[in-house]
């Protein structure tokens, strides 16, 4: 079934585990994420970034997506996921990642998302509280969960680029939960978005520890979210570079670092970059291993697969790696899938 985020957070709080939350930019990726979670019998959190909705709405220069683009994209992905997931045995959440403003969040909610993030982290504390509270007021009566953010992560974050991190102040976490009513909160504690997180990035666990300690003390339900948590697997970067790419200085958060914060209230771990890297690797590999040996008299497509004459110009063939990526890009005990715990 399609569900809000809240019940998954409650389960993970109770049993002290973290859910992976995976960014998708296409229906095929959503299908794959669902399939892999069904394999693990785990609840699935699919998330589309604000501008990813613009992209799926058909906006090619997605950085300039309008509200109308976002509405179309949100409806497309939510409808598709609903269709795929309605009869699934696992709970599936359709979450908006890094919602930019009230209207973008509303576009997601009105078009079928069951959970939204409102990212007011670039605003002053009071403005952030105000905007987030407004979103909660709109979302909760509709059964939609809300994630807020306090503190700024370094790196590219959809709309905002920040050179440096501003860590979350744990003393403000309780106040933020209480005033806004959010279900979970993204904290800035040493992760960053993108594929260059620096060598041996260490997480400031004390920020999570102190935040949870304060929440417990005040008797407030709170779940913390770790953004910028891709592991950036070395072998995938190397393969991309072997297949003609040139990605330098690529470092992620180690899986051990991520595992070590789970006892301290991290309940959702966001992964986008790893999936982008894996898609890129698979598509590059496909073209390298399948140089264009297409005869001009062949019809291509499914016929060429059947007569073993691989078509290098059929999107139905070369776009399948987008799906394979999530399904087979990682060994079950490795990387991305390792943080997808079972309920």
Altogether, the residues listed in the chain come to a count of: 343
Q: Find out whether 191 and 253 touch, Cβ atoms under 8 Å.
A: yes
The residue from 95, 227, 267, 281 that contacts ligand 13P (CB under 6 A) is 227
Structure letter (DSSP) for residue 161:
E
Task: Give me 20's structure tokens.
Answer: 């992976």
User: Residue 28: which of 110, 105, 106, 84 has the closest Cα?
Assistant: 84
Structure letter (DSSP) for residue 310:
-
Q: Which residue has the tokens 């504390």?
A: 125
Q: Which does 51 bind (CB under 5 to 8 A by kind): ligand G3H, ligand 13P, Na ion, none?
A: ligand G3H
Per rule CB under 5 A, is residue 95 in the interface with Zn ion? no
Per rule CB under 6 A, is residue 229 in the interface with ligand 13P? yes
The residue from 31, 147, 158, 239 that contacts ligand G3H (CB under 6 A) is 158
Per rule CB under 6 A, is residue 147 in the interface with ligand G3H? no
Residue 25-64 contact track with Zn ion, rule CB under 5 A, x = bound: ----------------------------------------
Judged by CB under 6 A, the chain residues 10 through 49 that form the site for ligand G3H are 23, 25, 49
User: Residue 114: which of 84, 89, 72, 82 has the closest Cα?
Assistant: 82
**Least distance in angstroms from the C-beta of 253 to ligand 13P:** 7
Mutual orientation of helices 234-242 and 273-289 as an angle, nearest 10°? 30
Judged by CB under 6 A, the chain residues 259 through 298 that form the site for ligand G3H are 272
Active site residues: 97
> Half-sphere exposure of 252 toward its Cβ, with a 13 Å CA cutoff?
24
CB-wise, 227 or 284, nearer to Zn ion?
227
Per rule CB under 5 A, is residue 100 in the interface with Zn ion? no
Q: Which does 170 bind (CB under 5 to 8 A by kind): ligand 13P, ligand G3H, Zn ion, none?
A: none
Residue 159-198 contact track with ligand 13P, rule CB under 6 A, x = bound: ----------------------------------xx----
Between CA 283 and CA 290, with CA 289 as vertex, the angle to 5 degrees is 85
Per rule CB under 5 A, is residue 227 in the interface with Zn ion? yes
CA 207 to chain centre: 22
Q: Residue 137 to residues 47, 57, 144, 224, 248: CA-CA distances in angstroms?
A: 21, 27, 10, 20, 44
Point out which residues bind Zn ion (CB under 5 A).
227
Residue set of the binding site for Zn(2+): 98, 119, 149, 193, 227
């Amino acid at each position: 079934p399609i569900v809000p985020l809240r019940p998954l957070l409650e389960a993970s709080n109770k049993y002290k585990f973290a859910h992976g939350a995976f960014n998708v930019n296409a229906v095929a990726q959503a299908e794959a994420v669902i399939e892999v979670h069904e394999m693990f019998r785990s609840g699935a959190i699919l998330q589309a970034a604000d501008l990813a909705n613009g992209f799926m709405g058909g906006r090619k220069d997605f950085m300039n997506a309008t509200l109308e683009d976002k509405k179309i994209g949100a409806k497309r992905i939510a409808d598709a996921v609903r269709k795929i997931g309605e009869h699934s045995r696992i709970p599936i959440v359709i979450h908006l990642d890094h919602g930019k403003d009230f209207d973008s969040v509303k576009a997601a909610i009105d078009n079928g998302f069951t959970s939204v993030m409102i990212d007011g982290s670039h605003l002053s504390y009071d403005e952030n509280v105000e905007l987030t509270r407004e979103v909660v007021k709109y979302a909760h009566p509709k059964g939609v969960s809300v994630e807020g953010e306090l503190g700024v992560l370094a790196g590219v974050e959809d709309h905002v680029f920040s050179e440096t991190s501003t860590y979350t102040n744990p003393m403000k976490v309780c106040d933020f939960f209480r005033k806004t009513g959010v279900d979970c909160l993204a904290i800035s504690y040493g992760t960053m978005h993108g594929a260059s997180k620096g060598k041996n990035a260490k997480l400031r666990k004390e920020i999570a520890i102190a935040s949870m300690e304060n929440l417990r003390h005040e008797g407030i339900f709170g779940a913390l979210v770790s953004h910028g948590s891709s592991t950036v697997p070395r072998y995938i970067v190397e393969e991309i570079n072997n297949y003609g790419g040139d990605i330098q200085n690529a470092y992620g958060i180690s899986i051990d670092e991520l595992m070590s914060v789970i006892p301290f209230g991290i309940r959702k771990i966001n992964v986008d970059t790893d999936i982008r890297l894996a898609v890129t690797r698979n598509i590059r590999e496909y073209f390298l291993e399948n140089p264009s040996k297409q005869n001009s008299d062949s019809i291509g497509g499914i016929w060429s697969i059947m007569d073993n004459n691989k078509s290098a110009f059929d999107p139905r063939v070369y776009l399948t790696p987008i799906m394979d990526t999530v399904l087979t890009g990682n060994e079950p005990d490795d990387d991305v899938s390792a943080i997808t715990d079972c309920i």
